[in-house]
């Protein structure tokens, strides 16, 4: 509990979150920085059910106080937050990604997406991956060569990876990805920000026989984004996206998980000098 609290309170900084906070009508509320801290803390501890999270907070008032709340958040409030702040969560991911890049000498932004399959959700859509068809959603993400997330997007499964690519770009010297990103507009966007695009060649109308081998530079680091996807989906989320219903709640869960991963990496970078993302060390 202490480690998760330390990560949420130190890495989800009030001054950082205030940069993305929007004016909303109605009562003042708890404040976005407290809400995001709570969502990140819940992921770090593995409380994906609102009921279990509220039960945890009821038994441990020191938790919500340490997170900055003046009173214990209600179940109705938390359920509402899980549908209300996906834009802000995505923007905080970008800010944390930039904060991380300011502290390391990163060379790569590596792009990829991973399916979050769940055909029973009414908002799920059919999509394609290299392994075939699936029904559900996609988490699009970019990472550096240490597998630390830099940017993230969330869509239904029918969105092609290339449609989200420019939103995932981060200011590193090199940008890479598989053949789905080998698109002229994406290359131009990469060059425009001062980076060099290195993508797997997609022959398209030239035919498969014209396909060129994966560039050696990219071959060495492509696995890093797959590792990041695995970290988020298996030990962190553990298929918890099937517990929530609807696009907004799933997007919030995915973004909060990326944020938790970033916060964990930043915390360990400062503490140990290396951005470890082992969630098992937090959920002891």
pLDDT, tens digit, 9 for 90 and up, residues 221-250: 999 999 999 999 999 999 999 999 999 999
Where does the chain show beta strands of DSSP type E?
108-117, 125-129, 132-143, 149-156, 174-177, 196-199
Query: Is residue 252 assigned to a domain?
Result: no
Structure tokens, 161: 């990876």
Report the Cα–Cα distance between both ends of the chain, in Å, rounded: 8
**Residue 69: inside a domain:** no
- Has residue 122 been placed in a domain? yes
**Residues 55, 73 contacting (CB under 8 angstroms):** no
CA distances from 102 to 105, 171, 179 (A): 8, 10, 29
CB atoms within 10 A of CB 273: 8
pTM for this model (two decimals)? 0.94
How many residues appear in the chain?
284
Task: Tell me the three state secondary structure of residue 8.
Answer: helix
Residue 148 domain-assigned? yes
> Is residue 261 assigned to a domain?
no
CATH number of residue 215's parent domain? 3.30.420
Residue 198 belongs to a domain: yes
> Has residue 42 been placed in a domain?
no
75 Cβ neighbours under 8 A, 6+ residues apart: 50, 51, 54
| Number of domains the chain contains | 1
Domain boundaries, position 197? 105-244
| pLDDT tens across the length of the chain (284 residues) | 799 999 999 999 999 999 998 876 545 678 999 999 999 999 999 999 999 999 999 999 999 999 999 999 999 999 999 999 999 999 999 999 999 999 999 999 999 999 999 999 999 999 988 778 999 999 999 999 999 999 999 999 999 999 999 999 999 999 999 999 999 999 999 999 999 999 999 876 566 666 777 889 999 999 999 999 999 999 999 999 999 999 999 999 999 999 999 999 999 999 999 999 999 989 87
In a domain, 34, yes or no: no
pLDDT single digits (tens) 202-223? 876 566 666 777 889 999 999 9
């Amino acid at each position: 509990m202490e480690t998760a609290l330390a990560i949420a309170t130190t890495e989800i900084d009030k001054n950082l979150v205030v940069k993305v906070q929007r004016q909303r009508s109605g009562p003042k509320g708890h404040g976005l920085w407290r809400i995001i801290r709570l969502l990140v803390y819940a992921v770090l501890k593995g409380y994906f059910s609102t009921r279990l999270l509220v039960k945890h907070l009821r038994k441990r008032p020191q938790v919500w106080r340490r997170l900055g709340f003046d009173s214990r958040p209600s179940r109705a409030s938390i359920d509402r937050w899980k549908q209300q702040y996906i834009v802000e969560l995505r923007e905080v991911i970008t800010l944390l990604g930039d904060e991380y890049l300011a502290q390391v000498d990163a060379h790569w932004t590596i792009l990829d997406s991973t399916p979050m399959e769940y055909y029973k959700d009414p908002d799920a859509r059919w999509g394609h991956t290299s392994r075939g068809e699936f029904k559900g959603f996609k988490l699009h993400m970019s990472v550096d060569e240490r597998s630390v997330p830099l940017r993230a997007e969330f869509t239904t499964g029918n969105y092609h990876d290339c449609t989200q690519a420019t939103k995932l770009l981060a200011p590193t010297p090199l940008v890479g990805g598989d053949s789905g990103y080998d698109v002229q507009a994406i290359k131009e966007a990469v060059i425009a920000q001062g980076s060099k695009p290195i993508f797997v060649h997609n022959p398209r109308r030239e035919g498969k026989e014209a396909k060129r081998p994966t560039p050696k530079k990219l071959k060495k680091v492509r696995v890093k984004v797959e590792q990041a996807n695995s970290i988020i989906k298996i030990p962190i989320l553990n298929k918890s996206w099937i517990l929530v219903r609807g696009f907004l709640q799933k997007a919030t869960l995915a973004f909060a998980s990326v944020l938790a991963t970033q916060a964990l990496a930043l915390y360990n970078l400062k503490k140990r000098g290396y951005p470890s993302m082992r969630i098992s060390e937090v959920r002891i």
